Structure 1
Amino acid sequence: MVVVDKEGYQIDSFPIGDSILKKLLSEDILIENEFDIISLTDENNFYHLMLKVKDDKSDNQIKFVFDRQSLDLKKWEIYDEFDNKTVFKFTKIKKNIFISQNLFVVKYN
């Protein structure tokens, strides 16, 4: 995955290989076909949904955190097989704005 700035220059990159993130970014995805639900909890006005890739021998998991009232996605946390955690937190969210189709491009080699 490559992170670029507004001008298209690379800021950072990291491989996603066979990670859970690659599954999430698939073009055609049905959550119930790709993931097992580990838990769904209601904590402090947020819903926490923990998922695991079906038939994956590793212990990769992902947790989605949604606002209880609006159901807006607030963050997701990815846990790898070594229990390392990567957090994507959404702040300063703008809704219903134009986003170029080239802004988020995932290329598979």
Structure 2
Amino acid sequence: MSVQDYKSRLSDPASRKMGTFSYLPQMTPDQIRKQIEWIVKNGWNPAIEHTEPKYAMSNYWYMWKLPMFGETDVDVILAELEACHAANPDNHVRLLGYDNFRQSQGANMVIYRGKPV
């Protein structure tokens, strides 16, 4: 078995991928809920960021409000994701899970994709 080459190129914005989950089919609402439950179960702090698709490869994304320190209600987190998407419908919106102990991101996934450039 060989590893499949994915023809992603900087010159082709439609081919660009953003992390492991972006190579998979779009997550269903139930799958998104399960990812949020996993973040909460691990005690990580959820945060939401967004950016214009043309800047998706940049290290800087805009923070949506402050990270949700200590938030454990999955519905509250889902509502904030939807609010960010509604306020920025053309932007990519991603969910992060910050691990306080390792002081790094434990999870990072794009939940909503903006319009291609």
RCO comparison, higher one (Cα < 8 Å, 6+)? 2
Question: Do both share a fold (TM > 0.5)?
Answer: no
TM-score, normalised via structure 2 length? 0.33
Identify, as 1 or 2, the structure richer in helix: 2
